[in-house]
Every structure is written in structure tokens, then in C-alpha cells.
Amino acid sequence: MKRHARRAKGIGGLGGPGVAAMVYLLGAWAATAQIFEVKTWRDLSDNRTSRMGRAVMSAARSPWVHAESAHFIYHSESLQELARVSQESEFAHDYIADYLGLREQDRKARIFICVSERVWFRAMEIGGRREDGVSLHVGNEIYVYRPDEQREPGMDVAHELVHFRIQREFGDRVPLWLEEGLAVYLGWKTARAYQETLGRSVYREMPALDEADMLEWNEVFQRRQYPRDPDANRAFYRLASHAVERMIDVLGREAVPRLLTLVRDGQAELEAVLREEFGVSKEEIHALWRDARADALRKQRAE
């Protein structure tokens, strides 16, 4: 769930050129034509994976399944999980693009679906992620951990796709708190909306942060790197998410694409953009922070 990482080595494949391609139409979301096609490695439209991707695939003890959908290339240890992730990712692609006002992406993103602990640990080892992480985004690639015993809906794919689409469209100029806050906030909205298409009602509970772990204004809004301390990192994610939610309450969701564009194009600092372009006073900005802080200090149930 962080920004950058690199490295890797190896390769996996599904059979040879004689393996027949298969098309799957799955689930309650079939009305939107969610289709993926299993392919041999050779027949993928783009099989130029990163060194990290090759190293992760080489860690598996069984062949990988390769497939494509409209906007993604998949590499998975499990055909069943590939089916699930392909549905989630195509839904998330459209939902996030609509919410953020994004144009059609010009290149397919690559999603690695890790089922075995061995393979996932290899991905985290190279990506430099926390041991409790379940997903990460590196350049044009997204890695998710879907162990066999996990059957509960998650927001891993949607969360990483928010990061991916923001960085693809707006680059690294978006403040860290705003990007991460949107990934948490919009990632959850996207995952929840997808579950609703399957007739499921989902929610998440977030425990109250301890006052001792609370961060100050500058530790959130001026931060350029993630906190190393696990408690501080958890607080940063939570505060960034609440700040984004409060900001959207004030500005309206239709303001989000313009806000991101102004920040990308170097229109002064974010606080100045909020004040000059959206008429949000300094007092209102600080009230937004106080509200976000209060949200984090109490248990939350997100419907």
C-alpha cells in the first residue's frame, strides 16, 4: 500500500502453445460482461513483466495461470482466485475512473494473485512491505495475497487500484496523505459497491486509536514518507482517510478530480488550492482536521 519498490528474477507459465484458451463469464455481475480469457504465457498481449514479477513467479512450486480481461493482465497461483479478482478489478476500474473523472488507461495493468505463503513472502521481501500487508503496488504491477482459507471480501484490489490510477493520471505530485486517504476511503467505497452487486451487505469496524499514537497536523499533511513505526503508520492511514472523507463532505465528490488536477499542475500548496479555488477558509481547514482527529479517536463502523 505504499508508493514505490523494485527488484526480481525467474518465470512461470501455463502449458505450451497447444493449450486452448478459455473464456469465463462469472457471477451476479454478468450483466456488465465481466470476461477474462486464460492464455499461454506466449499469447499474452504483453508478457514483459518486471524483474520483481519474474522473481515472485519463480517462487511458486506449481505452474501459474495467465489471463487477460479488458483492462488487466493476470498471473495467478489459482484459477478460482483469478476468477474472483478479475471481477473485482474490472468493476473497480470503472467505479474508480468514474469517481475520479479519469480517462481510459492506455496500458493494461498487471495483477499477481499470490495464494501460497511462500510466494507472498517473496513479494514482500522484494517490495519491502510490512509483514501484515496483504497487497502492494509497484509501478504497473499490483500484488495481492489471497490465501486458500481467506473467503471474506476485502478491499485490497480496489485500494491498490486507487493508488495505481492516481499515480498513472496525476504522477507523484499528489500529497501522500491525500493519495493514501483516497486509497483507503475510495477503496472501501468501491469494494462495498462491488459486494452490493452480489447481493451482499458489508461493513467494516475500525477500533479507536489510542491518544498516545495520535499524530500532529504536520505529521500527516506535510509527510512525504510513511512512518516506520507500526502504530504511527496505522494512525497515519486512519487520519488520512478521515481527513479525505471530511474534505469530500465539504467540497462534494465532484470537486475531487479538479482538486487532483490542480495539485498535479502545481497550483500552489494544497491549503492554498482549497482556499483560493474552493473557498474553504483556513478555519474550515483546521476544523476539518479536528473532526478527522475526533473520528480516529472513537470506534467507527463504516457501512
Domains of the chain, earliest start first? 22-173 (3.40.30), 203-302 (no CATH)
Percent of the chain past pLDDT 70, that is, above it, reads 83
Question: Phi, psi at residue 139, to the nearest 5°?
Answer: 60, -120
34 by Cβ neighbours in 10 Å (0-12 / 13-18 / 19+) ranks as buried
Q: What is the pLDDT of residues 47-72, one digit of tens each?
A: 999 999 999 999 999 999 999 999 99
Mean pLDDT of the chain: 82
Relative to beta strand 141-145, strand 109-114 is parallel
Tell me, what's the pLDDT at 271? 77
Tell me, what's the pLDDT at 266? 62
Q: What number is the average pLDDT over the span 179-184?
A: 94
Q: What is the pTM of this model?
A: 0.83
Higher-scoring residue by pLDDT: 49, 268: 49
Could you identify the residue written with the cell 514479477?
A: 53
Q: How far is CA 190 from the centre of its chain?
A: 10
Asked if residue 35 has pLDDT above 80, the reply is: no
DSSP sequence for 246-294? HHHHHH-GGGHHHHHHHHHTT-S-HHHHHHHHH---HHHHHHHHHHHHH
Higher-scoring residue by pLDDT: 298, 77: 77
Judge whether 72 and 109 are in contact, CB under 8 Å.
yes
Q: What is the pLDDT of residues 131-175, one digit of tens each?
A: 667 899 998 999 999 987 655 556 889 999 999 999 998 888 888
Higher-scoring residue by pLDDT: 34, 12: 34
- Nine-digit cell string for 72: 488487466
Phi-psi region of 203 (alpha: psi -120 to 50; beta: other; left: phi over 0): beta
Residue 105: CB atoms within 10 Å? 16
Q: How far apart are CA 233 and CA 209, in angstroms?
A: 12
- Nine-digit cell string for 257: 478530480
